[in-house]
Amino acid sequence: MGSTNTIVDGFTMQNITRVAPCAKTLISHSLRRNIGVTSVAMAKTNAPTDSVQKLYIDKIREYAKLSASGKIQMDAQSQKDFEAESAKLKKLYGGGDLTKFPEFQFKEIDFEAKKDA
Protein backbone atom coordinates (compact mmCIF):
# COMPACT_ATOMS: atom_id res chain seq x y z
CA MET A 1 0.00 0.00 0.00
CA GLY A 2 1.32 3.44 -0.91
CA SER A 3 0.72 6.57 1.07
CA THR A 4 -1.83 7.76 -1.51
CA ASN A 5 -3.95 4.64 -0.98
CA THR A 6 -4.25 4.88 2.80
CA ILE A 7 -7.83 4.13 3.87
CA VAL A 8 -9.51 6.83 5.97
CA ASP A 9 -13.07 5.98 7.08
CA GLY A 10 -13.74 3.81 4.04
CA PHE A 11 -12.30 6.24 1.51
CA THR A 12 -8.80 6.37 0.17
CA MET A 13 -6.84 9.62 0.26
CA GLN A 14 -6.81 9.55 -3.54
CA ASN A 15 -10.64 9.52 -3.68
CA ILE A 16 -10.89 12.29 -1.09
CA THR A 17 -8.54 14.56 -3.03
CA ARG A 18 -10.50 13.92 -6.25
CA VAL A 19 -13.76 15.01 -4.62
CA ALA A 20 -12.35 18.12 -3.02
CA PRO A 21 -8.98 19.42 -4.21
CA CYS A 22 -8.41 21.34 -1.00
CA ALA A 23 -9.24 18.32 1.21
CA LYS A 24 -5.62 17.17 1.30
CA THR A 25 -4.50 20.59 2.52
CA LEU A 26 -7.25 20.79 5.12
CA ILE A 27 -6.54 17.32 6.44
CA SER A 28 -2.80 17.94 6.65
CA HIS A 29 -3.31 21.26 8.48
CA SER A 30 -5.73 19.63 10.90
CA LEU A 31 -3.35 16.78 11.63
CA ARG A 32 -0.42 19.14 12.16
CA ARG A 33 -2.45 21.27 14.59
CA ASN A 34 -3.64 18.24 16.54
CA ILE A 35 -0.14 16.80 16.79
CA GLY A 36 1.24 20.18 17.84
CA VAL A 37 -1.36 20.71 20.55
CA THR A 38 -0.97 17.16 21.83
CA SER A 39 2.81 17.44 22.08
CA VAL A 40 2.59 20.72 24.02
CA ALA A 41 -0.01 19.27 26.39
CA MET A 42 2.08 16.17 27.02
CA ALA A 43 5.28 18.18 27.51
CA LYS A 44 3.77 20.25 30.32
CA THR A 45 3.09 17.21 32.49
CA ASN A 46 6.17 16.75 34.64
CA ALA A 47 4.55 14.31 37.04
CA PRO A 48 4.97 10.61 36.31
CA THR A 49 1.74 8.99 35.19
CA ASP A 50 2.56 5.48 36.31
CA SER A 51 3.28 4.25 39.85
CA VAL A 52 6.25 2.19 38.61
CA GLN A 53 7.60 5.22 36.76
CA LYS A 54 7.21 7.34 39.91
CA LEU A 55 9.05 4.73 41.99
CA TYR A 56 11.85 4.59 39.41
CA ILE A 57 12.26 8.37 39.39
CA ASP A 58 12.22 8.49 43.19
CA LYS A 59 14.99 5.86 43.35
CA ILE A 60 17.09 7.79 40.82
CA ARG A 61 16.72 10.98 42.88
CA GLU A 62 17.56 9.09 46.09
CA TYR A 63 20.68 7.61 44.47
CA ALA A 64 21.73 11.06 43.21
CA LYS A 65 21.51 12.48 46.75
CA LEU A 66 23.46 9.57 48.23
CA SER A 67 26.16 9.64 45.58
CA ALA A 68 26.60 13.40 45.96
CA SER A 69 27.19 13.02 49.70
CA GLY A 70 29.36 9.90 49.28
CA LYS A 71 27.06 7.69 51.33
CA ILE A 72 26.57 4.88 48.85
CA GLN A 73 26.64 1.62 50.74
CA MET A 74 29.28 -0.87 49.59
CA ASP A 75 30.15 -4.13 51.24
CA ALA A 76 33.77 -4.82 52.22
CA GLN A 77 34.57 -6.96 49.17
CA SER A 78 33.14 -4.40 46.73
CA GLN A 79 35.07 -1.60 48.43
CA LYS A 80 38.28 -3.66 48.24
CA ASP A 81 37.71 -4.42 44.54
CA PHE A 82 36.97 -0.75 43.83
CA GLU A 83 40.17 0.39 45.51
CA ALA A 84 42.23 -2.25 43.69
CA GLU A 85 40.83 -1.22 40.30
CA SER A 86 41.34 2.47 41.12
CA ALA A 87 44.97 1.77 42.05
CA LYS A 88 45.50 -0.08 38.74
CA LEU A 89 44.03 2.80 36.74
CA LYS A 90 46.06 5.41 38.62
CA LYS A 91 49.24 3.43 37.97
CA LEU A 92 48.33 2.92 34.32
CA TYR A 93 47.37 6.54 33.60
CA GLY A 94 49.78 8.38 35.89
CA GLY A 95 47.62 9.11 38.92
CA GLY A 96 45.37 12.09 39.44
CA ASP A 97 41.69 12.27 40.26
CA LEU A 98 39.88 9.58 38.29
CA THR A 99 36.45 11.14 38.88
CA LYS A 100 37.23 14.34 36.92
CA PHE A 101 37.43 14.80 33.20
CA PRO A 102 41.04 15.24 32.10
CA GLU A 103 42.29 18.69 31.21
CA PHE A 104 44.07 18.92 27.89
CA GLN A 105 46.70 21.56 27.26
CA PHE A 106 47.90 22.13 23.73
CA LYS A 107 51.00 24.21 23.14
CA GLU A 108 51.14 26.65 20.26
CA ILE A 109 53.60 25.55 17.58
CA ASP A 110 56.07 28.20 16.49
CA PHE A 111 56.39 27.63 12.75
CA GLU A 112 58.75 30.59 12.26
CA ALA A 113 61.42 29.05 14.51
CA LYS A 114 61.39 25.83 12.48
CA LYS A 115 61.91 27.70 9.20
CA ASP A 116 65.08 29.37 10.46
CA ALA A 117 66.68 26.13 11.63
More confident residue, 73 or 15: 73
CA distances from 16 to 20, 28, 29, 30, 91 (A): 6, 13, 15, 15, 72
For the chain, the domains span 3-43
pLDDT tens-digit series, residues 35-55? 766 666 666 666 667 888 889
pLDDT tens-digit series, residues 11-42? 566 666 566 666 677 777 776 777 766 666 66
